Amino acid sequence: MTATLNSLTQIDSPVFQPERGFIVAMARDARLAARSKGEAIQALAFFVVVVSLFPLAIGPESALLKRIAPGVVWVAALLSVLLTLPRMFANDHADGTLEQLALSVYPLPTIVAGKIVAHWLMTGLPLAVLSPLLGLQFGLASGELAVLCVSLILGTPVLSMIGAIGAALTLGVRGGSILLALLVLPLYIPVLIFGAGAVEQAMVSIDFSANLSLLGAIVLLAGLAVPFAVAAALKISLD
């Protein structure tokens, strides 16, 4: 980790490359998450358990299971991502790494963007990849499973980005996990509506491209604005 921090705090080439902060931060967080897999496994296990409980509780009512499938999978994914948010910056804050990152020669928004992408790669992406397998429990057709997977691939990055804002604002606050949930859950509602709505439209043979396009637009807009908002929130929390 020392070598990674040195690469973030020193310019070792004559040409300053701000994007290198993004790459190094993303690689560092992904490597740390791979070494301690408990958090990612916990989120994935929570997702599997929550989604699997509904078919067991409702029984073999195929029409009802298919009707509730988009909402169940999306809510379970949302809650799974929410479980991992409090620790997005907490460990770096506890050992002083976050202060060093804030003083890095690279812009803090690029470092924040790298951390957000690493968070999504270790949490949101596995949930999206696993979702078609869990969707089989609800009797979804192959086309509907594909739409479910694509909607989660487009939507879960937004969950990580919005969650990063909440994690930065509640950093070091007592009872921060509850406050974090209260902050981000209302902001998750549009993503939940568009994501689940795309699958529901696919189920009734209605064009679902508008919902997916809206999710894509949200990803692009959030990707441009969120790193700067998170960087500002982190500076406030560190002051």
Q: What is the pLDDT of residue 12?
A: 43
Give the span between the Cα atoms of 177 and 155, in whole angstroms.
Answer: 22
- What band does 11 get if pLDDT is binned at 50, 70 and 90? very low
Alpha-carbon span 120 to 98, nearest angstrom:
19
Residue 222 has pLDDT above 60, yes or no: yes
- pLDDT of 13 reads 43
For the chain, the average pLDDT equals 87
DSSP class of residue 205? T
- Tell whether the torsion through CA atoms of 144, 137, 67 and 42 is positive or negative: negative
Question: Using CA atoms, how far apart are residues 53 and 31, in angstroms rounded to an integer?
Answer: 32
Query: What CA–CA distance (Å, rounded) separates 71 from 69?
Result: 6
pTM for the full model? 0.87
- Given a cut of 70, is residue 8 above it in pLDDT? no
- The structure tokens listed for 9 are 């705090």
What is the distance in angstroms between the CA of the first residue and the CA of the last residue of the chain?
A: 24
Residue 188: which H helix or E strand, with range? helix 176-203
- For residue 215, give every residue at least 6 positions away whose Cβ sits within 8 Å of its Cβ, in sequence order, or none: 151, 154, 155, 158, 191, 194, 195, 198
Q: How confident is the model at residue 177 (pLDDT cuts 50, 70, 90)?
A: confident
Domain residue spans of the chain: 20-238
Distance from chain centroid for Cα 56: 28
pLDDT band at 96 (very low <50, low <70, confident <90, very high): confident
Which are the contacts of 16, defined by CB distance < 8 A and separation ≥ 6?
Answer: 105
Residue 103: predicted pLDDT: 82
- pLDDT tens digits, 120-164: 999 999 999 999 999 999 989 999 999 999 999 999 999 999 999
Mean pLDDT of 36-60: 87
